[in-house]
Amino acid sequence: MANVLIIQHHAHLAGAVKLEFVNGREGKLAKASLIAISNQHRGSGEDREERAVSIRWTLWGKLAEHAAEYLGKGSHVNVIGRLHNTQYQDGEGREVHGMEFTVEDIDYLDSKAESEARRSRHTNDSQGCQPATA
């Protein structure tokens, strides 16, 4: 199976990083997924178009744990990884083919202050959505 290097520059996260632990060869392994959106521009002048490109990335191990701890919706990142083909059997024995994007490196582009402010806003927003107790 061929791998293709993919670089997603100046992306922002569409939602929270979802962290889970899966069974690996050497015990539990951290696995996280995130959706990064980049804006691309085509043409110039009045013909200039902008479109958003969204890629779901998978992170593994410490990279996954750090991303879940420090990144949130709206975080700015550069993501570098590989696109590769997948093939597996589904629950009914049918062969399923797909493509996956796996992160090899991620650059956190927000300052510490921006990151903390975003986390604080997210915490306040989620607390504001909870019903009041009497």
Domains by residue range for the chain, with CATH = 3-39+48-128 (2.40.50.140)
Residue 51 has pLDDT above 90, yes or no: no
pLDDT tens digits for range 6-24 = 888 889 999 999 999 999 8
* DSSP secondary structure string for all residues of the chain: --EEEEEEEEEEESSPPEEEEEEETTEEEEEEEEEEEEEEEESSGGG-EEEEEEEEEEEEHHHHHHHHHH--TT-EEEEEEEEEEEEEE-TTS-EEEEEEEEEEEEEE-S-HHHHHHHHHHHHHHHHHTSPPP-
- Flag whether pLDDT at 76 surpasses 90: yes
Dist. CA 61–CA 67, nearest whole Å: 10
Of residues 52 and 29, more confidence is placed in: 29
The predicted pLDDT at position 133 comes to: 43
Average pLDDT, rounded, for the chain: 85
Give CA separation, 89 vs 3, 39, 71, 95, 98, in Å.
21, 35, 33, 5, 11
Provide the pLDDT for residue 126.
57
pLDDT tens digits for range 84-94: 888 888 888 88
With bands split at pLDDT 50, 70 and 90, how would you rate the model's confidence at 134? very low
DSSP β-ladder status, 49-60 and 76-89: unpaired
- Find, among 38, 45, 56, the residue nearest to 103 by Cα: 56
Does 53 have pLDDT greater than 70? yes
* Mean pLDDT value of segment 92-117: 88
Q: Is the pLDDT of residue 30 over 90?
A: yes
